[in-house]
Amino acid sequence: MTAIKLQAGDTNSARMNFRTKPQIKATIQRAALLAGIHDSTFTINAAYQSALATIAAHERTLLAPVDHEAFFAALEQHAAPTDRLKEALAHYGETVTSA
């Protein structure tokens, strides 16, 4: 398990409280004991790693090579403007004035 790296002077000042089932608590305590760390440290590290993975999964899109090629090919091909787009551009030109 990767531990959270703190900077010099960092202190644990934020508090998080939660309830869990006795079986879950016992499992976390057993794993923490096996890892040789306090159960709160184990829990924080596990939650932190899960939070980072969740954020990364929502901020990045990974494509297989075949999908990667199709994605960038689609970006390079410019679609012809539709009638609706042409109408919107004409309407914009009639209604919006630049200062």
- Residue 67: CA atoms inside 13 Å, Cβ hemisphere, count? 4
Separation between Cα atoms, residue 87 and residue 78, nearest integer Å: 19
- What residue segments make up the domains of the chain, in order of their start? 22-95
Separation between Cα atoms, residue 18 and residue 98, nearest integer Å: 56
pTM of the complete model: 0.56
pLDDT tens-digit profile of 54-88? 999 999 888 999 999 899 998 899 888 999 999 99
The number of residues making up the chain comes to 99
